[in-house]
Amino acid sequence: MEFLSSLQTRRLMAIVRGSDADAALDTVLTLVRSGIDLVEVSLSGTDALNVIAKARAKLGPGALLGAGTVLTPRDVLRAADAGAAYTVTPAVTEAVAASRALGLPVLVGALTPTEVATALAAGATAVKLFPAGQGGLELLRALRGPFPDVPFVPVGGVDAATGRALLAAGAVAVGVGSPLVGRAADGDTAGLTDRIAAFRSLAGEAS
């Protein structure tokens, strides 16, 4: 899987984190089968590694399924064993080098210019601009000055309107958790279909 080209093509990565492993798995499958096929399963969710493994078994080897909140080399190894095709970190940690050593693409969390430069030097495939909720648009515009060629993926507090603006400002993609998933990964699927349609429309407009 070419992770960067997938980000450039899909423009949207869903983030699934929940307290109910069965509901989280159902959410992953629903997202993918509804056309949002770039999905990160956060390791901070309940039984996340089994969610990844079961989703991989059901979706096959080509699914754009990754592990998020990856902090340590052990996390990387366990995520890879479960079938994650890429890793996502909240910051520049030892997990970046461990991911690269295994040949896994890695989306590395950064917020400041120094952190962006450090993430790139560590081997980031793309930079996760995090948290990108309040002030994220201005921050993205500012960072693209000294880093015009860096593929930025804003994450954190990104709703449909914010996502649209971030993509228009040059983000390669956006990562979206609760504004898209809601509480589906906890078992409450109310409104999920409508939110999926809204975010698919956003990604389509930006393509």
Print the domain residue range for 151: 3-206
What's the confidence (pLDDT) of residue 202? 83
Q: Kindly list the catalytic residues.
A: 40, 128
What's the confidence (pLDDT) of residue 135? 84
What's the CATH code of the domain at 59?
3.20.20.70
Share of the chain above pLDDT 90, in %: 93
Residue 1's pLDDT band (cuts 50, 70, 90): low
User: What is the SS3 string spanning the chain?
Assistant: CCHHHHHHHHCEEEEECCCCHHHHHHHHHHHHHCCCCEEEEECCCCCHHHHHHHHHHHHCCCCEEEEECCCCHHHHHHHHHHCCCCEEECCCCHHHHHHHHCCCCEEEEECCHHHHHHHHHHCCCEEEECCCCCCHHHHHHHHCCCCCCCCEEEECCCCHHHHHHHHHCCCCCEEECHHHHCCHHHCCCCCHHHHHHHHHHHHHHHC
The pTM of this model reads 0.96
pLDDT tens for 100-111 read 999 999 999 999
- Of residues 61 and 1, more confidently modeled: 61
Instruction: Tally the domains of the chain.
Output: 1
pLDDT tens for 184-201 read 999 999 999 999 999 998
